[in-house]
Amino acid sequence: MFEWVNHYFEGTILENKPSQIAAFLAFVLVAVLFKGILAPLILRLISKIFIRKIESDKNVLTNFILFTQKSIKRFLVFLFFYIAFQQLRFPKSWNLAPSNEFGLHFLLDKSYQIFLVVLFTLFVLRVINFWGLYFLQKAGQTESRMDDHIIPYLKEIAKVMVVLVILVFTLSKVLNLNVNAIITGLGIGGLAVALAGKETLENLFASFTIFLDKPFITGDLVKVDNIIGRVEKVGFRTTRIRTVERSVITLPNKTMVDKPVDNLTNRVTWRAFFEIELTYQTPMSVLKTIKEEIYDYLHQHTRTDENSQVFFSDFGPHSLKMQIYYFVVTNDFFDFMRVKEEINFKIHEIVTRNGAEFAFPTRTIFVKNEEKSLPNS
C-alpha cells in the first residue's frame, strides 16, 4: 500500500524502506488521533452483534460505551502500536535471531502479544462488570430478592471462565505450549497445590452450599456469632456483611456454613428480655401495681404479641428484681429498637408515677459506738 513512497524517496533508515517507515507512522497516527472515534464504533458494533435489543434503550447503550470505552481505547492504542512496529524490521547487521527462535526479537514479540491479551482480558472483564451492574439494577426493581443473590454469583463465574479460557489460549497459541502436557505434568504438583489451597477449596465448596441450600441470600439480616449485619455479597471465597454499626466484615464462606447462622430476616418477631431493679423501700402493694400496669401496657401495645410477661422474679442483694419479656412484631432490627425505646420510656414513667425508685448497688454499714470507761486514778 505504501510502495509508491519508494518512488519518491531513496535510501533506508536502519535498513527500513520509506514505505515501511510511512506504514509505521500511519498506524501510530491512527492509534493516537482516531482512538476516540474507533472505540465507540467498535462498541456499537459489539452491541448490535451480541445484544440485538440494545437499540430499544439508548441510555443503556450510552452508559455501556462510557463504561467500557477507556479500556477499549487502551487496547486499540496498543494494538495499532503493535501493528505499527510489525511494519519495521531489525537491521540484518544486528544478527538477531528470527521471531520464531529464542532471542530479543522473540521476547519483544511475545511480550507485545501477552500485553495485548491482558488488555483484551481487562476489556472483557469490564464488559462483564457493566452487565452485572445493569442486571443487578433490574433485579432491584423486582419483588424477589433471589435474583439479587444469583446475579453477583453468575458475574463472578463468568469472570473466572473468561480468565481460564484466555489463559489456556495464551499458553497454547501465544506461547506455543502443550497445555495437555502441562496439565498432565501437574499430577503431583497439583496435589501439593491443592493441599496448600485447602482452605480456598473449602470456601469455594461452601459458596456452592450457600448458593444451593440458601440459608441466606443477599439482603438478609443475619447473626453469626456476635456479628449482626446485612449480607451485601456472597462471593466464591468470602461473604461480605454490613453490620448495624455500618462497618463491613468479610467472613470466609466456610465460617458461614460451619457456624450457626441466625437468619433474622425470616423471623416475624424480635424478643426483648431484661430486668428492672427497684429499691427495698418499695411497698409490696406498689410493686404489684407496677407489675400489673406494665403487663397491661404490653398487652395493649399494637406492636407486641400476646406472649408478653412480667414477673417479680427475685430478691437481689440490693434490689427487688422484676423480669420483663415481650415480642415485637417486626422483622426489622431498627424498627424493633424504636418500639423497645418507646416501651422503655413508658416503663420508666410507670415506675416513677407510682413513687418507686430504681435501685443501684448500695451497701449499708452500721457503726456500733461503745463508750469505754477510763479507770480511776
Check: CB of residue 224 under 8 Å from CB of residue 261: yes
Q: What global pTM score does this model have? A: 0.51
77: CB partners within 8 A, 6+ apart: 31, 32, 35
Residue 231 pLDDT exceeds 80: yes
Q: Which of 92-101, 249-258, 311-320 has the highest mean pLDDT?
A: 311-320
For 263-301, write each residue's pLDDT tens digit.
877 778 888 999 999 998 999 999 999 999 999 999 999
pLDDT digits (tens, 9 = 90+) for 12-24: 555 566 666 777 7
* Residue 140 in this model has a pLDDT that exceeds 60: yes
Gap between the Cα atoms of 330 and 321, Å rounded: 28
Question: Which run of H or of E encompasses 343?
Answer: helix 333-353
CA dihedral 12, 16, 20, 24 (to 10 degrees): -110
Question: How far is 327 from 270, CA to CA, in rounded Å?
Answer: 5
- Grid cell, residue 376, equals 480511776
pLDDT, greater one: 200 or 7: 200
Question: 90 falls in which pLDDT band (50, 70, 90)?
Answer: low
Tell me the C-alpha distance between 331 and 222, whole Å. 11
* C-beta neighbour count of 143 within 10 angstroms: 5
Cite the beta strand spans of the chain per DSSP E: 221-224, 227-234, 238-243, 248-252, 261-263, 269-278, 309-315, 320-329
- All domains in the chain, ordered by first residue: 5-175 (no CATH), 198-266 (2.30.30.60), 269-353 (3.30.70.100)
Residue 7 has a pLDDT of 46
pLDDT score of 5 more than 50 = no
pLDDT band with cut points at 50, 70 and 90 for residue 195: very low
* Lowest-confidence segment of 107-116, 186-195, 204-213, 303-312 by average pLDDT: 186-195
- 1 vs 95, residue with greater confidence: 95
pLDDT tens-digit series, residues 47-79: 666 555 555 556 676 777 777 778 888 888 888
